[in-house]
Amino acid sequence: MVVGIKVGSLGRCGLGLVVCVALAGCSWVDPGPQVVEEEVLLPPPPPEPVLASSGDAQLTLFGEFPDRTRIPFQARAASPMEQHTFVAEGADFDVDVSPDGEWIVFSSTRHALRPNLYLKTIHGRAVTQLTSDPAADVQPAFSPDGKWVTFASDRSGNWDLWMIGVDGGQPTQVTRSPLHEVHPSFSPDGTRLVYCVFNSKAAQWELWTVELARSEVRKMIGVGLFPRWSPVGDSIVYQKARQRGGRWFSVWRLDLEGGEPKFPIELAVSAEMALIQPTWSPDGEWVAYGTARLGGEGEAGEPPGPPVSSRGEIWIVRADGSSPVCLTDGEGSSFGPVWSHDGRVYCTSLQNGVENIWSVKPTLVPISAGSTAEHGEPAGSSGLGASRGPAATGNQGG
């Protein structure tokens, strides 16, 4: 099914920019009041169209099923959600955490209509503006040594990949293709990037790798969006749209051997919502991802109405696809997860109408040896990277 969504300018991004790109493969983002016919699958758009501001009722829905009672489940947080940025106007989003766990880098519209990159300590209040350009700078990611940040920008006329040092200096352009290239992620040794390209001829998002020392050495490794390289090995998680039903995204893992892709593995899937923006834990044993669902359905017997804001959740699942557990249960939409070395999961959360950076630490409950999951309750563990998953009840599988 193809769904039309109200859009705005890139300057009013935040939640919209992330959701638009994340859902591009399963929903067409209509840049105007055109009517999109059902049963016609249009190619995904380039990433520059975005949804309107966060307070707009036309935002895509997150998380909840309109005709289903929410299943209660136990708390999954070892501590309450902790806030790390405190913008009152604009939005902070696209967060990444430095390898030493001391810094975060993120995109923000706190000072301008189009996003720039900012750097701050985890618990500090002062922010450093890393980029200042009339164009949009989004999707930053730290290098493994923490000295560089790669990001996507349309400052050259279309979306390309760039790099900038955390100590300052001018950004360096990495890719120069006429195609849109977004969402870069470093390999564990810092010598390569994985990213996604919108192939306009094939009308699909593709996964590519590039060598930083020789940018002409590029290789297509698959089809999908939002790739993230494992910090400990040649494995990449990403999202890919299903080719049937609601065409929702699911979470996949792609292992590389000698730089060549092996068969992809689907880790998490739902027939009722998109599973988006996957990311690795520091030990490579877990994957976090968000959930999103396009809405607008009315109550039973009523005609469909305009989309209404709802919640989005952050989930974790083992790298083999077992033990999915929901981490968030708040009143606001949470999306764009990324893990820190201390086990906390950082994300953008829409609380009180403003998007800021928050974090939560998963609860990992030990259980007796030999226990097995019953009635949808996965077995527990005492820490990340253990042989069994965290204990929780309900809401399994996204």
Which is it for strands 218-223 and 225-229: parallel, antiparallel or unpaired? unpaired
Q: Give 156-183 pLDDT, tens digit per residue.
A: 999 999 999 999 889 999 999 999 999 9
Is it the case that residue 386 has pLDDT exceeding 80? Answer: no
Segment 326-339 mean pLDDT: 85
pLDDT at 268: 95
Segment 365-383, tens digit of pLDDT: 432 333 323 223 332 333 3
More confident residue, 308 or 258: 258
Residue 237's pLDDT is what? 98
| pLDDT at residue 274 tops 70 | yes
291 Cβ partners below 8 Å, 6+ apart? 62, 63, 270, 273, 274, 275, 276, 312, 313, 315, 398
- The dihedrals phi and psi of 18, each to the nearest 5 degrees, come to -65, -45
- pLDDT value of position 295: 53
How remote is the C-alpha of 315 from its chain's centroid? 11
- Assign 364 a pLDDT band (cuts: 50, 70, 90): low
Q: How confident is the model at residue 337 (pLDDT cuts 50, 70, 90)?
A: very high
pLDDT at 313 over 70: yes
Cα–Cα distance for residue pair 15/21, rounded to 1 Å = 10
Partners of 50 in the beta sheet? 8
Q: Which range has the worst mean pLDDT, 19-28, 94-103, 137-146, 245-254?
A: 19-28
Distance between first and last Cα of the chain: 20
Check whether 48 has a pLDDT greater than 70.
Answer: no
Q: Is 19 helix (H, G, I), strand (E, B) or coil?
A: helix
d(CA 263, CA 157): 35
Residues 11-21, mean pLDDT to the nearest whole number: 44
Task: Check pLDDT > 80 for residue 21.
Answer: no
**What does the pLDDT average to over 53-80?**
37
Give pLDDT, residue 299.
40
Domains identified in the chain and CATH numbers: 67-292+309-360 (2.120.10.30)
Which of the two residues, 349 and 379, has the higher pLDDT score? Answer: 349
Reported as a pLDDT band with limits 50, 70 and 90, residue 194 is: very high
At 274, list the tokens.
Answer: 């998109």
In the predicted model, what is the mean pLDDT of residues 21-36?
A: 48
Q: Does pLDDT of 62 surpass 60?
A: no
CA–CA gap between residue 214 and residue 144 (Å, rounded): 19
* 244 vs 137, higher pLDDT: 137
Which of 135-162 are b and which e, b meaning 16 or more Cβ less than 10 Å from the residue's Cβ? bbbbbbbbbeebebbbbbbbbeebbbbb
**Number of C-beta neighbours around residue 200 at 10 A:** 12
CA distance 161 to 151: 6
Residue pair 51/15 in contact (Cβ under 8 Å)? The answer is yes
Q: What average pLDDT does range 322-350 have in this prediction?
A: 89
- Where do we find the tokens 């999707």? 139
Task: Specify whether the CB–CB gap between 60 and 50 falls below 8 A.
Answer: no
Residues 71, 75, 77, 82, CA torsion sign: positive
How many Cβ atoms are within 10 Å of 3's Cβ, its own excluded? 19
DSSP-derived secondary structure for 298-352: -STTS-----------EEEEETTS---EE----SS-EEEEEE-TTS-EEEEEEET
Average pLDDT of the segment spanning 5-10: 28
SS3 271: coil
Query: How far is it, in rounded angstroms, from Cα 262 to Cα 257?
Result: 7
pLDDT score of 185 = 98
Kindly state the percentage of the chain with pLDDT values over 70. Answer: 66
Q: 108: which 2 tokens? A: 């923000």
> What is the rounded average pLDDT for all residues in the chain?
75
Q: Check if the beta carbon of residue 278 is closer than 8 Å to that of residue 293.
A: no
* φ, ψ for residue 194, nearest 5 deg: -110, 145
Global pTM value? 0.76
Share of the chain above pLDDT 90, in %: 55
* Of 382 and 185, the one with more pLDDT: 185
Question: Mean pLDDT over residues 270-294, rounded?
Answer: 91
Segment 219-238 mean pLDDT:
96
pLDDT surpassing 70 at residue 59 = no
Given a cut of 60, is residue 37 above it in pLDDT?
A: no
